[in-house]
Amino acid sequence: MLWLALHFPLLPLEALPLRQSPTALGLQPGLSVFERCEAREKQALENLACWAGRFTPTISMVSPESLLLEIGGCLRLFGGAEAIITAVLAGCAEQSYSTRWAVAPTPLGAGWLARFGANRINPEPAAMHSALAALPCAVPGWPDEVTNRLESFGLQRLGDLRQLPGAGLRRRIGNGPVDDLLRAWGDLPDPQKSFVFPESFAIAIELPSRVEHAEALVFAGQRLFAALAGWLHGRQLLVRRCSLQLTHDDGPPTSLALNFAEPAADEGRFVRLLREHLSRLHLTAPVEALRLQADELVAKPGASAHLFEQATAGEGTLACLERLRARLGEGAVQALGEMADYRPECATGMREVDFNFGRFFRSTVETQKTGKSAAESHPSRPLWLLPTPQALAERAGSPQWHGPLKLLSRAERLESGWWDEGEGGATGDVRRDYFVARNPLGQWAWVFRNADGWFLHGLFA
- Each residue's pLDDT tens digit, 389-401: 999 999 988 999 9
3-state secondary structure of 114: helix
What average pLDDT does the chain have? Answer: 85
Q: 194-251: per-residue pLDDT in tens?
A: 999 999 999 998 888 888 898 889 988 999 999 999 999 999 999 999 999 999 988 8
**pLDDT beyond 50 at 58:** yes
- In the chain the domains, ranked by start, together with CATH numbers, are 3-18+34-185 (3.30.70.270), 202-301+316-327 (3.30.1490.100), 334-377 (no CATH), 384-459 (no CATH)
pLDDT exceeds 90 at position 350: no
As a whole number of angstroms, the distance between CA 239 and CA 229 comes to 9
pLDDT greater than 90 at residue 151: no
Given CA atoms 259, 261, 267, 273 in this order, what sign does their dihedral have? negative
Residues 6+ apart with CB under 8 A from 255: 243, 244, 245, 246
pLDDT above 70 as % of the chain: 87
Q: Of 283, 282, 200, which Cα lies nearest the Cα of 235?
A: 200
- Give the burial string for 85-117 (b: 16+ CB within 10 Å, else e): beebeebbeebebebbbbbbbbbbbbbbbbbbe
At residue 420, does pLDDT exceed 60?
yes
What's the rounded mean pLDDT across residues 18-26? 49
Give the residues across from 335 on adjacent strands. Answer: 351
Considering the entire predicted model, what is its pTM? 0.69
